[in-house]
Amino acid sequence: MYVDTSSVYAAGYDIVNNLDGVLNEFDDIIGLDRIKSIHLNDSKNKLNSHVDHHTNR
Q: Is residue 42 over pLDDT 90? A: no
Instruction: Give the count of alpha carbons within 13 A of 35, CB side only.
Output: 16
For the chain, what are the domain ranges? 2-39
Instruction: Give the count of alpha carbons within 13 A of 18, CB side only.
Output: 11
* 0.75 exceeded by pTM: yes
pLDDT in tens, 12-26: 999 999 999 999 999
3-class SS at 7? helix
Facing residues of 43 across strands? 54
Give residue 51's pLDDT band: very low, low, confident or very high (50, 70, 90): confident
3-class SS at 15? coil
Report d(CA 41, CA 4) in Å as an integer: 7
